[in-house]
Structure 1
Amino acid sequence: MDDLNRLEALSYFLKTKRAQLKPESVGLPSGSRRRTPGLRREEVAQLAGVSTTWYTWLEQGRDIKVSRSVLDCIAEALCLKRDEHEYLYDLALGTQIVSTKSQASPTTISPSLEKILSALTTCPTIITDRYCHIVGWNPAAAHVFVDFATIPESRRNLIRLLFSQKEFKVLAGNWEHFAKGFLSIFRAYYGQYSGDEWYTSFIQEMSNTYPEFKSLWMESQVSKAPEILIEFRHGKVGKMLFDLTSLQVQGEDDLRCSIYTPVEESGTEEKLKRLISAQ
């Protein structure tokens, strides 16, 4: 993301978060003359203790100098959560994680991570990199989702598959909630790697191809580890409930381990065992 795209992303993020806030939630009267939802710019500026002109420039994506302390005030005024707060830092300060590994370089799973995948016999588990490319999975994931080995490696991107594979939409009873969770993770990466043009190109491609992606992406949700209860409607065993635990794997590849744990007393683990034994 070059500086122009970064500042445009900052502008859109601030506008979206301002529009999502209800005046009464921050102690302001709702009034009856508001033409648009959310707070006005001057109200955010007042809550943050900055001038309306300065905040307007920030929200317009102008290339102005900002400090962490002032951004902290903006974050508090907009009631940003921790991951959203860090995302604001990334965009406003031009923070960038530098990686020596290119997007095209293949990612290999370490033997220890492979062993963890194998050990989680009744917990579908997927390993993704910072682009949300799927680089590893266990047999349980292949049984519940799809056999990722049948999908060309170049198309094996979790965000792309969520919108392009009908199996995911049919499988997930709460598909929109499911998709929002992974988009919020993807947006956190988008802010962290602000110098990588791949993200800008990918988001543009997805927005042009899938209207649902564009609509959900515009909500600007950010979370490095969202809490997601997944309801699957499997064609062979019926309803399955999983809690998603998302773990960051230390290392330069910036891998993420997404573990789907069967909800207790839902019968999901027994159904999964039947699926695996029938193979």
Structure 2
Amino acid sequence: MDRETRLQALSAFLKAKRAKIPPESIGLAPGTRRRTPGLRREEVAQLAGVSTTWYTWLEQGRDIRVSRSVLDSIATALQLNIDERKYLYDLTLESGSGATLWKEESPEISPSLKKIMNELRYCPTIITDRRFFIVGWNEAASCVFLDFEQIPFEQRNMIRLLFARKELRRLAVNWEHFTRGYLAIFRAYYGQYVEDEWYDRFLEEMKRVHPDFDHLWQQSEVKTAPDVLIEFRHAKAGKMMFHLTSLQVQGSADLRCSIYTPDPDSPTENKLKKLMERK
């Protein structure tokens, strides 16, 4: 991501977060003359203790000097969570990791991680790299999602598959909610690895090929470890309920392990066992 692109990403993020704050949440009247949702720029500036002109320049993506202490004030004014704060700092302070740390070939999965993944027999598990290419999965994941073995590695990107494969669009009852969770993690990586130009090329491709991608991407959600209950409607097994736990694997490869645990109050695990027996 070059500096101009980084500043554009910062501008879009600040605008999106400002628009999501109801004026009444900070003691202001909603008002009838507000042309856009959320707070005005001058209100954010006042909350952060900076001039309206300076904050306007920051939100416009101008190349200005910013200190971490001022960013702390901006983050507080915009009610950012920990992940969103890190994203803000990565974009503004250029503290992300360099693209030189990346190897183009598929990262190696350690024997211990493979064993853990396979021991989770009735918990569909997917391992992705920091660009969201799928580098590992267990049998349960193949049964619930796709037979990833049949997909070439260069096409085996989870973000791309969520938009490109009809099976995955039909699988999640609330596909948008399911997809936003993955995009929130992807945006965290996007901010962390600001020097890796692959992300910009990938985003441009997704916006060009999949018109509904940009709408979800512009919501600017940032999370590193969502833990949510997801309802699937599997073509063969019917209704299935899973708790998604996303874990970052410690190590130089920067892998992520997404584990779908069957809801104990549902017949999901029994359905999955029968599905795997028929495979």
TM-score, normalised via structure 1 length: 0.98
Aligned to 1:52: 52
RMSD over aligned Cα atoms: 1.0
Asked if 2 retains the 8 angstrom alpha-carbon contact of 1:163 and 1:210, the reply is: yes
| 1:219-245 Cα shifts (integer Å, max 9, x gaps) | 000000123221111111110000100
Aligned to 2:92: 92
Aligned to 1:244: 244
2:149 maps to a residue whose letter is: A
| 1:38-90 Cα shifts (integer Å, max 9, x gaps) | 11110000011111011011111111111111111111111111101111101
Distance 2:208 2:240 in 1: 33
2:14 maps to a residue whose letter is: L
Aligned to 1:115: 115
Aligned to 1:73: 73
Asked if 1 retains the 8 angstrom alpha-carbon contact of 2:98 and 2:196, the reply is: no
| 1:142-164 Cα shifts (integer Å, max 9, x gaps) | 00001100111110000000000
Distance 2:166 2:183 in 1: 18
Distance 1:167 1:228 in 2: 21
Aligned to 1:144: 144
Q: CA distance change for structure 1 residues 99 and 205 in 2, over 3 Å: closer, same or farther?
A: closer
2:31 maps to a residue whose letter is: G
Distance 1:186 1:211 in 2: 18
Give the secondary structure class of the aligned counterpart of 1:84.
Answer: helix
Is the aligned partner of 1:23 residue 2:23?
yes
Deviates more, 1:103-112 or 1:169-178: 103-112
Shift of 1:252: 1.3
Distance 1:163 1:85 in 2: 28
1:156 maps to a residue whose letter is: R
Alignment of 1:214-233 (within 5 A): 214-233=214-233
Segments of 5+ residues of structure 2 without an aligned counterpart are: none
Shift of 1:100: 4.4
Deviates more, 1:169-178 or 1:191-200: 169-178
Shift of 1:99: 5.5
Shift of 1:98: 2.9
Distance 2:46 2:9 in 1: 23
Asked if 2 retains the 8 angstrom alpha-carbon contact of 1:178 and 1:228, the reply is: no
1:25 maps to a residue whose letter is: S
Aligned to 2:268: 268
Give the secondary structure class of the aligned counterpart of 1:58.
Answer: helix
**Residue-pair matches, total:** 279
Distance 2:206 2:236 in 1: 31
Shift of 1:26: 1.5
Aligned to 2:13: 13
Distance 1:29 1:92 in 2: 32
Aligned to 1:181: 181
Give the secondary structure class of the aligned counterpart of 1:9.
Answer: helix
Distance 1:227 1:28 in 2: 33
Asked if 1 retains the 8 angstrom alpha-carbon contact of 2:66 and 2:92, the reply is: yes
Alignment of 1:130-169 (within 5 A): 130-169=130-169
Asked if 2 retains the 8 angstrom alpha-carbon contact of 1:47 and 1:77, the reply is: yes
Give the secondary structure class of the aligned counterpart of 2:169.
Answer: helix
Deviates more, 1:9-18 or 1:22-31: 22-31
Segments of 5+ residues of structure 1 without an aligned counterpart are: none
Give the secondary structure class of the aligned counterpart of 1:61.
Answer: coil
Asked if 2 retains the 8 angstrom alpha-carbon contact of 1:87 and 1:222, the reply is: yes
1:117 maps to a residue whose letter is: M
Q: CA distance change for structure 1 residues 160 and 103 in 2, over 3 Å: closer, same or farther?
A: farther
